[in-house]
């Protein structure tokens, strides 16, 4: 501290004057009496007042430092990846909404299975109706697998932007000047992870749909073959089955 030499000088003066307290008071030529005891007390009071001023200065400095730290902690993060994340997630959601035929709707799935995936074939069903149902099932499987490729392409297409956003957010987090900025960067990183989980969920949903439809098609193909065999054996040698053009492998 720059005030320490002055303080030491004041204290030294007090000590020196105190040594002369026992001396008889001197009378100046002008007749003014010099009282060393009173002068020493004044010096002590001045030193004490100077110490209090120094303490107040240190207190103000601490308060200023605390306010500066609080101001840093309240600074918001000047970066946001929210809009880009929302755009990527909207793109994947839009791809899921493009599913046709047997889409992600419970009632539509029920109607489709009642029509083209029967658990038992009606005796009144013609060979032509069996062929139409088989073609519908084949088209359902083809569309579902194409939809999986579309969703995969959409997810892969956002990987580059996702990686860039992750790098930017990590950089912002490491360069955060306060607690609020660090928290906001961490929250955006969590949002980025949620987007990645949403991409994975969409991809699994599309793959699961395609696999389920293909398994259902294979099961119905086996059941249809049994039905055609039953009809052939039940009508005797005179039965002439209609030519059937198969639309699935």
- Token pair 């990987």 in the structure block, residue: 159
pTM, two decimal places: 0.63
For the chain, the structural domain boundaries read 4-21+34-73, 82-235
* Distance, CA of 54 to CA of 59 (rounded, Å): 9
Per-residue pLDDT of the chain (249 residues; tens, 9 = 90+): 445 555 565 555 555 445 454 445 544 445 566 677 787 788 888 888 888 888 888 888 888 778 777 777 777 888 888 888 888 889 888 988 888 888 888 898 998 998 889 878 877 788 888 889 999 999 999 999 999 999 999 999 988 888 898 898 888 888 888 888 888 888 899 989 999 999 999 999 999 999 999 999 999 999 888 888 888 887 654 445 555 454 444
| DSSP β-bridge partners for residue 33 | 27
* Distance, CA of 166 to CA of 191 (rounded, Å): 10
The DSSP symbol for 178 reads S
């Amino acid at each position: 501290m720059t005030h320490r030499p002055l303080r030491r000088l004041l204290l030294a003066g007090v000590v020196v004057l105190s040594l002369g307290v026992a001396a008889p008071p001197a009378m100046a030529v002008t007749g003014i009496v010099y009282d060393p005891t009173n002068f020493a007390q004044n010096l002590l009071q001045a030193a004490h007042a100077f110490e209090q001023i120094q303490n107040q200065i240190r207190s103000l400095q601490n308060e200023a430092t605390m306010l500066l730290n609080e101001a840093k902690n309240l600074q918001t993060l000047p970066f946001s990846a929210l809009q880009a994340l929302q755009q990527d997630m909207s793109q994947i959601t839009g791809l899921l909404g493009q599913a046709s035929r047997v889409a992600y709707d419970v009632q539509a799935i029920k109607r489709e299975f009642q029509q083209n995936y029967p658990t038992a074939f009606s005796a009144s069903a013609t060979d032509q109706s069996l062929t139409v149902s088989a073609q519908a099932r084949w088209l359902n499987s083809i569309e579902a697998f194409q939809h999986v490729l579309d969703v995969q392409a959409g997810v892969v297409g956002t990987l580059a932007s996702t990686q860039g956003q992750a790098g930017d957010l990590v950089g912002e987090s490491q360069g955060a000047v306060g607690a609020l900025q660090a928290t906001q960067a961490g929250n955006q990183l969590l949002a980025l992870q949620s987007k990645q989980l949403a991409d994975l969920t969409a991809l699994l949903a599309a793959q699961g749909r395609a696999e389920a439809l293909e398994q259902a098609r294979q099961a119905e193909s086996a059941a249809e073959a049994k039905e055609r065999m039953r009809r052939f054996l039940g009508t005797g040698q005179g039965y002439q089955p209609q030519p059937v053009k198969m639309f699935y492998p």
